[in-house]
């Protein structure tokens, strides 16, 4: 699917509310269909950013300012992507951190014991007051930090390069993710529909 296609509306708890998401590439799509097994037939990754941010990115792409192809500018070869990145990095940084709320939702649709079932996992990350960072920063930094600590303690399921879903015990990992003071809460909801005879 092309990036930014497949616009889909989803509703989350306040203060997030209703958002519009779209398809994008993400690393989970490369490994999970193989590692989960059990006949995975379809998997997608949808991301929702504030509309103004999405429109800005769309404009940069449409103008060619995200292109990685070299062009000549006043006798010098440059990649528009590099120029755009450099200009954005040089912009003044906000004095106060953005205290956003970040939510990841994973919905699995399938069968359990011969009955249709939908499992919904949701990780909600609020701003961390003590660290003075927003939810997006917390849920970007905390999971790999836990992974690194577990690797040092020998809590991986084997040597070598492994995708996260096979490298660690998932139950223990999610318990650690939701531990006191982390700012991340993971919940599980199951909706099972029994077929009537």
* Residue 64: per-residue pLDDT: 95
Residue 76: which H helix or E strand, with range? strand 76-78
* Residue 197: per-residue pLDDT: 41
* Residue 192: per-residue pLDDT: 63
In a domain, 86, yes or no: no
HEC-encoded secondary structure of 90-132: HCCCCCCCCCCCEEEEEEEEEEECCEEEEEEEEEEECCECCCC
Q: What is the pLDDT along the chain (197 residues), one digit of tens a residue?
A: 777 788 889 999 888 899 999 888 888 888 888 888 777 888 889 999 888 888 898 899 899 999 999 999 999 999 999 999 999 999 998 888 788 899 999 888 888 888 888 988 888 998 888 888 999 899 899 999 999 999 999 999 888 888 888 999 988 888 888 886 777 888 888 876 554 44
Helix (H, G, I), strand (E, B) or coil at 192: strand
Rg over alpha carbons for the chain, rounded to the nearest Å, is: 20
The boundaries of the domain holding residue 140 are 97-197
Structural domains in the chain (count):
1
127: its two tokens = 């701003």
Distance CA 149, CA 69 (A): 39
8 A C-beta contact, residue 183 and residue 124 = no
How large is the angle between the packed helices 170-177 and 135-152, nearest 10 degrees? Answer: 130
CA angle 176, 25, 33 (to 5 degrees): 65
Q: Whose CA is closest to 164, among 190, 180, 146, 185?
A: 146
Single pTM value for the model:
0.76
In a domain, 51, yes or no: no
99: its two tokens = 């205290």
In a domain, 39, yes or no: no
Distance CA 161, CA 165 (A): 12
Q: Whose CA is closest to 23, among 40, 56, 45?
A: 45
In a domain, 119, yes or no: yes
- Distance between alpha carbon 168 and the CA centroid of its chain, in Å? 18
* Residue 193: per-residue pLDDT: 54
């Amino acid at each position: 699917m092309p990036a930014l296609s497949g616009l889909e509306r989803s509703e989350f708890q306040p203060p997030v509310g209703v958002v519009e998401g779209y398809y994008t590439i993400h690393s989970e799509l490369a490994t999970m269909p193989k590692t989960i097994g059990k006949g995975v037939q379809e998997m997608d990754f949808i991301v929702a950013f504030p509309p103004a941010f999405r429109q800005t990115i769309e404009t940069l792409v449409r103008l060619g300012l995200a292109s990685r192809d070299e062009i000549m500018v006043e006798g010098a070869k440059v990649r528009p992507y590099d120029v755009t990145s450099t200009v954005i990095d040089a912009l003044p940084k906000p004095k106060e951190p953005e205290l956003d709320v970040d939510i990841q939702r994973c919905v699995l649709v399938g069968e359990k014991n011969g009955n249709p079932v939908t499992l919904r996992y949701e990780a909600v990350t609020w701003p961390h007051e003590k660290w003075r960072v927003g939810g997006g920063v917390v849920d970007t930094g905390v999971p790999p930090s836990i992974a690194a600590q577990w690797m040092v303690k020998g809590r991986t399921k084997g040597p070598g390069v492994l995708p996260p879903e096979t490298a660690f015990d998932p139950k223990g990992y999610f318990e650690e993710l939701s531990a006191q003071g982390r700012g991340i809460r993971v919940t599980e909801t199951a909706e099972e529909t029994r077929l009537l005879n």
